[in-house]
Chains A and B, each alone.
Chain A
Amino acid sequence: MLTRLCYCKAGLEVKIAKFCGGRGALNNIKSLNLSIDDSIIIQKNENYRSPVTIQSKGENILVGKELAAKIIVESETINDILLSSLRTGDLAEVKNVLAKGEIRRRLLDMGLIKGAILEVIRKAPLGDPIVVKLNGFDLSLRLNEAENIYVSLKSLSNSSSKSIFNKLKMLRK
């Protein structure tokens, strides 16, 4: 299944399927000497926040988090990730809610139970909280709270890049 490099945990061996993002991102990827169909092994991916260390062609490479999100890879296993690291537009399934006490109760009441399908639809102007769409309604929660929820990717966002500049580019064409 297709996933993002930034979602893959250490130890996985994946194949690069495609790149998304603007020209700048593509140039960066090129400079890392990565190309489509390359097999890479994830060495380190802590908290899904800091840069991802990958091994490609026998070399260890550090890939920034933003860039790692733009590298789409083919992977046999899909591991659980934190809801807080889910990218806008990707669809995921809730696997576990680790929160305790009141927060857990609230999250369960809102329908964040195992098996619920959700999508992060936007982030606040300052980056936190986020808005998650599930069961047909919009739920906002802080990244703090989202860090207590494990989800697994169901499908990637269908628009490869939602950046407004790309849309403008498309229009011009």
Chain B
Amino acid sequence: MVILDLKLNNVLGFKDIHFNFTYPKKLRKNSLGEECLKGVPNFRYKKVNVVMGSNSNGKSSLGKTIWGLCLFFRKKESNNLIKLMSDGSDSMNISIDYVCASETQKYILNRVAIRVKKDENLTTGYSIKMDYDCVTLRGDDTYETACKNLVRKIYNLDYLDCLNAISHSDGWFIAMPITETGFDKFELELEKPNRELFSNILFKVLNTLDPNIQSSTVSNEIDDAYIIKFDDGKNTIVKSGDRITDIRYLSSGTKYGFIIATVIYSIGKQHNGLFYIDELFSYVDSDIEIAILNLMISLLGDCEQLFFSTHNSEVLLLPYPLHSFMFLGKEKVDDQIKIKTICASDVEKRNNVVVKNLYDNDYFDISPDSSRIFEIEELFDNGEQ
């Protein structure tokens, strides 16, 4: 699954925001290789999206929104959608364009619009109306030409009828910090032959994070369990379903190695299609984060897409196309503070500039206001301690 366009209003922290994950013309040089669908060379999409922004600026909310939508499409349960609603007194609107591969290996561009409103007369307390259209892509299509064949209707479909019609064959992988509800868990159930591969990946990740880790082996006695051995003879067993925070002997960053290895495995096996990796590397060395990011990119397959949110501005030194860097910030409009999005390629057309230099000078106007921090000193100076 590849997301091409996303419009959100009254969704978590987002008010009237528009994300676009396509780019207008082929680049002469692109270090990410071909960023298009296989066999549809002009259908250009942003395969890699590095998402940056200060705290509370929507990085995790974007991941949760995508996750909630995927769950809603797959499970057809309205609560996955309703919990994304921010202000109950207003309607929530979502519009998404995405591509997925059909069973006949053709690509289908889908456009789904959803409107959720409070309605006390319904048992769920909410009315959900949807509109849906799709088109099979031709070999010479661009996103723009394919969109012309989509006819937007008004919200006239019941959501279950609409969801039954939607093509949504692909999976997704959302990884969030373990402080997020439900994410403090190592979860990977594999067939026996695949456990060896995962164990190898796990060892390479853990050993990079902590060279004292000597090996990772598949447990013969417990399903989906891995024995981690240290050079001083200690060992710990970790099995699918275990809480990450409960893993013994590992440092905070090394514990994240279990999630990181799971992500790498999933991308490498091309199980999911859409990956949202949200600030998973806050406890991990910058060089290791950058190495793993580039490995993930190399492993990404056709009709797949990676979102990678981080606070590490060193990532901005990487020679990706400008359209790969997306920033989230806040702006004051009519007395309201809103989240805004800006892509590096929106404001800078030269592709040979280092985005880090622009970021350091707050070219994207997303720098946090740290003046409150410095005011704390004044509290002590004023004798309020």
Partners in one complex: no
Which of A's residues lie within 8 Å of B, judged by CB?
none
